[in-house]
Amino acid sequence: MAANTIRVEGLRELQRDFRKMSKELGKDLRAELLNSAAPVADRAQQRTLGEIGNMTSHWSQMRVGVTSGSVYVVPRAKRRGGSPRPNLKPLIQSRMDQALDDKRGEVMDNMGDMLDRLADRSGF
């Protein structure tokens, strides 16, 4: 696990239990998790684009994903052959870490709001 993460204890269990209750509720949770991480991806893209603007922009684009128990932000570009810059991976990682630091409070607020919205939709 990366050093700079926001860990949500019990997320895997929450995802499992929501899917058991309703397939639709599981899908809603996934969509809400993606939305919660979007500010980090946007900020990381802004920071990275400022550094590598002379290269093609696909290296600065970020992708948000959800797996069982985690939400992640990664560069959209796949490595094909050599990197256009030898220090690109550490540069992108440092910008992503800075973006998470910048948006940590917003992500935590989004997670709390997300749980409230899902509870309201499900009648809790």
- Give residue 96's Cα distance to chain centre: 10
6/12: higher pLDDT: 12
Span 95-101, average pLDDT: 85
Domain boundaries, given as residue ranges, for the chain: 11-77+84-116
Indicate the pTM of the whole model: 0.73
d(CA 68, CA 34): 13
Q: How confident is the model at residue 1 (pLDDT cuts 50, 70, 90)?
A: very low
Give the pair of three-digit tokens for residue 20: 């058991």
CA dihedral 11, 92, 51, 83 (to 10 degrees): -140
d(CA 99, CA 31): 21
Span 55-70, average pLDDT: 73
Rg (CA), the chain: 16
Whole-number Cα distances in Å, 98 to 13, 58, 68: 29, 20, 25
Least-confidence region, from 2-6, 91-95, 107-111:
2-6
Type of residue at 41:
A
